[in-house]
A and B are shown apart, each in its own frame.
Chain A
């Protein structure tokens, strides 16, 4: 149980385009989902926290207009990187947590390369 999937697993895009990444909880209802970014050889950095049906809370330094998060259902959250640039190239990881759980379950990550 507690499986989280992400799609796509890898994406290459041109600079200036937008990319959408999906995060799904497959066998539980995720009232809260988290989006992280991880650069090579570095730790996970929390970008934003989203609760189903409400606006995401962004960490300091993360542009909410650039990284659009939607958590429209209890099993799906999306992260859209708008007008992507090469410096946005990174490994994006989501996690999900149920309402009464303290544990976060992580997705497999999405590798984004912006050319």
Chain B
């Protein structure tokens, strides 16, 4: 079946460095993608989203890049801070009227002091 997946299950970065979290998707019909941050014991928190008619979108310290040719999504976090330590999920809109999301497996980001 079609799925959303991540390349790396864990990522450790030094405080102040930039982080890049990657995600591969296989449904070429997906038109909307979202990145979520989940801290331990909490629900997912929206970070940034991007529609399929865009290839880049920037937020505050975060940038999402979408490469539809290779079905790849990435989240870049600038000047990573200790508070950025969490699990990051990409999610893909399945389409249809309900607009259900399919989540990737997640990447655990650890920020080292």
Contacts and interface: CB of A to CB of B under 8 A. Distances in A.
B76 interface: no
Contacts of A44: 44, 89, 103
A93 B32 contact: no
Contacts of A113: none
A43 B106 contact: yes
B101 interface: yes
A102 B99 contact: yes
Nearest to B106: A43
Contact of A109 (B41, B46, B103): B41
Sort chain B's interface into a size bin: 20 to 34
Nearest to A34: B100
A67 interface: no
Interface in A67-95: 91, 93, 95
A4 B45 CA distance: 11
A34 B49 CA distance: 19
Contact of B43 (A102, A103, A107): A107
Nearest to B49: A103
A4 B42 CA distance: 12
Contacts of B41: 91, 109, 111
Contacts of B101: 34, 46, 104
Contacts of A25: none
Contacts of B89: 43-44
A103 B100 contact: no
Contact of B42 (A42, A104, A105, A108): A108
Given A46-B100, A49-B98, 20 more contacts: A4-B43, A42-B105, A42-B106, A43-B89, A43-B105, A44-B44, A46-B102, A91-B41, A97-B99, A102-B93, A103-B34, A103-B46, A103-B49, A104-B99, A106-B36, A106-B44, A106-B45, A106-B46, A108-B42, A108-B43
